[in-house]
């Protein structure tokens, strides 16, 4: 009895694994051709200064729309891309697209909006990718001050001296750094001090239940205070309603990003948002 049960449960287990492996393989194969045929593109989510309520930068977020219209979110394809090394190809494309966009905006008179891109630890440690970044910046004659790199806490698991060296190299071009999803993972306050960071993004999990959970609110407030004490600009992500917005304002957070303010949008839609905002300013 127990033997057959064991065999059965093993059977189910291996079936589930096989299904998962097949799915991964399917994603990997279509991702490979997606990269080759430019099915991956960027959308941009504005970040707002909480004092002026002006848009100061946008975060570039990768999207994959398959030929049949299916949109696959990055939470699904980025992990597969990391396991297969395809993330490096994605990184090359993301860097090129973001720099092209900065140059295009420069040409239509948008000079004061920075773009942030997300780079995984794997990407950030890839020398050729970093060289591509510097080369593209130079080719398009872009002021590095308009480029922000978002790194997650997983970077703390890597060789901190080599990470710092790359950050300092890019700092020379004016590029700045944000620590993304702070508080979610391997937080270490000593690393916050060690790395040349400019921005701290509080993980949206702490903000999502500030209304109902007093300890989340306390953590959010504490992170904002720590950030300020370390001279970092603090960004609240995942602002979904008026209540959350008021909360982070009250806590003296500097910048905010979230569906309540703006959803991720195409570059063309952002140009409209930007134009409307400058018109409002002129009519005031
Ligand atoms: P992230 O860098 O923390 O990006 C913020 C995520 O929160 C985005 O999800 C954004 O669409 C979502 N978001 C924005 N406002 C709200 C809100 O009010 N509520 C909620 N619940 N979510 C909000 P998205 O675009 O699905 O990206 C997920 C993650 O995938 C990103 O998290 C980032 O870690 C990764 N990712 C996205 N694009 C790239 C990329 O080009 N390269 C790499 N390496 N990773 C990327
Ligand atoms: Mg990010
Ligand atoms: Mg984040
Ligand atoms: Mg995230």
SS (H, E, C) 128-142: HHHHHHHHHHHHCCC
Atom of ligand 1 nearest to the CA of 82: 44
Q: Which of 73, 88, 118 has most ligand 1 atoms within 8 Å of CB, for mutation?
A: 118
Q: Which protein residue's CA is at the shortest distance from atom 34 of ligand 1? A: 118
Backbone phi, then psi, for 151, in 5-degree steps? -115, 150
Query: Is the CB–ligand 1 distance for residue 207 below 6 Å?
Result: no
Atom of ligand 1 nearest to the CA of 181: 3
What angle do the packed helices 86-107 and 2-36 form, to 10 degrees? 40
Flag whether pLDDT at 94 surpasses 60. Answer: yes
Query: Is the CB–ligand 1 distance for residue 94 below 6 Å?
Result: yes
User: Residue 2: which pLDDT band, with cuts at 50, 70 and 90?
Assistant: very low
pLDDT value of position 284: 63
Mean of the pLDDT values across residues 55-69? 95
* pTM assigned to the model: 0.92
The closest ligand to the CA of 182 turns out to be 3
The closest ligand to the CA of 244 turns out to be 1
pLDDT digits (tens, 9 = 90+) for 237-270: 999 999 999 999 999 999 999 999 999 999 999 9
Atom of ligand 1 nearest to the CA of 91: 42
pLDDT digits (tens, 9 = 90+) for 35-58: 988 899 999 999 999 999 999 999
ipTM score above 0.85: yes
Q: How many CB atoms lie within 10 A of CB 5?
A: 9
Flag whether pLDDT at 148 surpasses 90. Answer: yes
State which residues have CB under 5 angstroms from ligand 2, the bound ion. Answer: 118, 150, 180
Flag whether pLDDT at 12 surpasses 90. Answer: no
Residue 214: both structure tokens together: 């007093």
């Amino acid at each position: 009895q127990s033997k057959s049960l064991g065999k059965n449960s093993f059977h189910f287990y291996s079936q589930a694994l096989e299904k998962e492996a097949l799915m991964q393989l399917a994603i990997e194969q279509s991702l490979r051709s997606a990269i080759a045929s430019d099915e991956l593109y960027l959308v941009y989510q504005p970040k707002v200064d909480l004092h002026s309520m002006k848009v100061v930068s946008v975060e570039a977020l990768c999207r994959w729309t398959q030929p049949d219209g299916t949109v696959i979110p990055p939470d699904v394809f980025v992990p597969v891309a990391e396991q297969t090394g395809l993330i490096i190809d994605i990184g090359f494309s993301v860097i090129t697209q973001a720099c092209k966009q900065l140059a295009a905006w420069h040409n239509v008179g948008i000079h004061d909006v920075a773009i942030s891109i997300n780079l995984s630890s794997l990407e950030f440690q890839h020398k050729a990718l970093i060289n591509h970044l510097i080369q593209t910046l130079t080719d398009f004659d872009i002021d590095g001050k308009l480029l922000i790199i978002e790194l997650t806490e997983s970077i703390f698991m890597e060789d901190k001296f080599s990470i710092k060296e790359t950050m300092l190299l890019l700092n020379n071009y004016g590029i700045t750094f944000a620590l993304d999803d702070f508080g979610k993972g391997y937080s270490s306050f000593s690393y916050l001090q060690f790395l040349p960071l400019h921005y701290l993004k509080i993980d949206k999990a702490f903000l999502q239940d500030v209304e109902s959970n007093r300890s989340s609110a306390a953590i959010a407030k504490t992170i904002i205070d720590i950030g300020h004490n370390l001279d970092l600009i603090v960004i609240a992500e995942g602002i979904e309603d008026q209540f959350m917005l008021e909360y982070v304002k009250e806590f003296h957070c500097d910048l905010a990003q979230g569906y309540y303010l703006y959803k991720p949008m195409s570059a063309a839609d952002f140009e409209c948002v930007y134009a409307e905002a400058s018109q409002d300013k002129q009519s005031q």
